[in-house]
Structure 1
């Protein structure tokens, strides 16, 4: 918009200087004619500065009519004083076709050319040659006006199309940004929900189970009750560490100072001790460094599977295996519990599947009632 106003101003100034210079050069020095023409030219320039710039900026009908009601008579009057005033028609026609609808612009152009033709005959004198010259000038002026009109309309249509495209793109970008923000918030909520379920909720479940067991043993086996309370205290501290890591989005405490294999071994051993279930942990393949994101997915998967065993499986034995191949890593958790139908499953298994899918891997669950359960999480590496 600012560039368009600058262009109009530059053309106005250039044509004003050109017209004024031509009038001074062409007119005799001992006549007052050029000074009258230049006075009208200066008035036209002032009128443009006063009303034309605003009309071209706003494109409002009232502003356009106000400017043209002054600009058309001033241009015709200047042509009356000097035929060189016709130079300013090169700016008047574009203004007319820019500011008015096509029908009104055509009427204004026809009226202006008619007045200019009559004044042209007046300049030359009423005779056959002047009439022919006037008609030729009118025809040439009409062709010029139509050419200018076509060019201006093409430019305006292109500008409107581009403006509409830009507006549509901006609106689309705003919608995409809003959708991305909503998607980001949803993803973050899902991540937090999964983290809370896989860490804090499981920790609280362990604490409650240990406290219930301690309550049962309190009257009959005080040493065992104290052991349960100690285990609950350790679990609470671990839960607090998990909560702090969750808030800070840091590496889980189990992985902070240990490899994935060591972290899994510690998780499995701790589960067996707290749940009184026989456990077995095995590592197959050459241990190597894995991306932290992959380690977190595998660790959370094992934690969730063990939590499910504690809450639902009624298993007597659990086997966990970490297998590292050249291009993939796999962890499996198998129990001899009561199993379930594959169609079943809750938020925990859904969370394992989601985490594996987001990491480019997959999760396979195999279970039948009375046959135990096997969960396998496989990731590329």
Structure 2
């Protein structure tokens, strides 16, 4: 549209100079044409005064040289972009009437029906195209906002499930164990209570971290992924090993791997009835792999369903896929389970 404006402005000026070479009004027409071109590209903080200034200069040009009426369509779009819908339609109507009056001055054959019909038709088409495009853009923006909201809700639900909900579940189990052993083994009961207190403290830290930036509390203060996973494994009585040469990972990848480990070990604790579990973090050339293995009762991955809390394996798979990774499950009833999550070490937005 900008290119069309300057092409029409140049053509109108050329037509005037060819038909009226430096006539009495020539310097004024040239000066106003240059002024209109400068105003059109001039960056301004307030669009409304700019619009009326441009339209006013253009109207003066049309009065001096009616052929400049051809520049109306780009100015119509400028008005439609700048003004509210009703005000824009009023401006379109006024400019269309002005263009018709100017074009009628270019003909010597009296009233020309084409000149009476063509400008309003062109203005109607231009307005319809603009309104349609604007509605499509608004629908697209609304769709993207809705999809972004749903994605954010899913992300938050996974964050809460893998941290706060798992912590509350652990506290419940520990307090139930303490209640059962309170009379028979007070020392063990007190240990369960102290452990539940420690988990509650970590849950409070996670809640505060959510309020701050939703990053895992275990990664706060510059703690590395290996150290965070080692601390998590110690709390869950699991083994931890690092293979390969560690590399710097994006924060999103580190957070996702830690959340995946938290969710997987929580599943082991609550459902696997395992005697041992192990975390293995492996650095390859272009990806990082996290394996969570246990010797529990296992399951059939083909018939696994979503848990009552709504997450678990689906949440782990979703986290991996969001970063361009994959989840592989090896398990069978009575044979334990191995979850393997592979995530590219280069984030998707950084790839060529």
Q: Same fold (TM over 0.5)?
A: yes
Match of 2:233 in 1: 268
SS in structure 2 of the partner of residue 329 of structure 1: strand
* CA–CA separation in structure 1 for the residues paired with 2:263 and 2:301: 17
Q: CA deviation at 1:251?
A: 2.6
Looking at structure 2, the residues matched to 312 and 211 of structure 1 have their Cα atoms a distance apart, in angstroms, of 18
Q: Which has the higher helix share?
A: 1
Work out the CA distance in 2 between the residues paired with 1:4 and 1:300. 57
1:207 aligns with 2:171: yes
Cα distance change of structure 1 residues 92 and 329 upon mapping to structure 2, 3 Å threshold: closer
What's the counterpart of residue 330 of structure 1? 289
Secondary structure of the corresponding residue to residue 286 of structure 1: coil
Report the 3-state secondary structure (helix = DSSP H, G, I; strand = E; otherwise coil) of the residue aligned with 1:290.
coil
Partner of 1:159: 123
| Distance (whole Å) between structure 1 residues aligned to residue 164 and residue 185 of structure 2 | 29
Q: For the structure 1 residues 305 and 92, does the alpha-carbon distance in structure 2 shift closer, same or farther, using more than 3 Å as the test? A: closer
The Cα shift of 1:58 comes to 9.4
1:157-188 per-residue CA deviation (whole Å, 9 max, x = no partner) reads 33322211111121112112222221221111
Deviation at 1:8, TM superposition (A): 9.0
Structure number with greater Rg is 1
| 1:320 match: secondary structure | strand
| Pairwise CA RMSD | 3.1
Give the Å deviation of 1:232. 0.5
Counterpart of 1:175 in structure 2 is: 139
Q: 1:6 to 1:366 in 2, by over 3 A?
A: same
State the alpha-carbon separation in 2 of the partners of residues 317 and 215 from structure 1: 25
User: Distance in 2 between the 1:92 and 1:352 partners?
Assistant: 69
- Is 1:342 the counterpart of 2:296 in the alignment? no
When residues 210 and 157 of structure 1 are mapped into structure 2, their CA distance, relative to the original with a 3 A threshold, is same
Tell me the number of residue pairs that the alignment of Structure 1 and Structure 2 aligns. Answer: 263
In structure 2, the CA distance between the partners of 1:57 and 1:204, relative to structure 1 (3 Å rule), is same
Match in the other structure for 2:35:
none
Match of 1:365 in 2: 329
TM-score (norm 1): 0.62
Cα distance in 2 between the residues matched to 1:321 and 1:55: 68
Question: Cα offset for 1:224?
Answer: 1.2
Distance 1:159 1:265, change over 3 A: same
On the 8 A contact 1:356/1:377 being kept in 2, the answer is yes
Distance (whole Å) between structure 2 residues aligned to residue 323 and residue 281 of structure 1:
11
Match of 1:227 in 2: 191
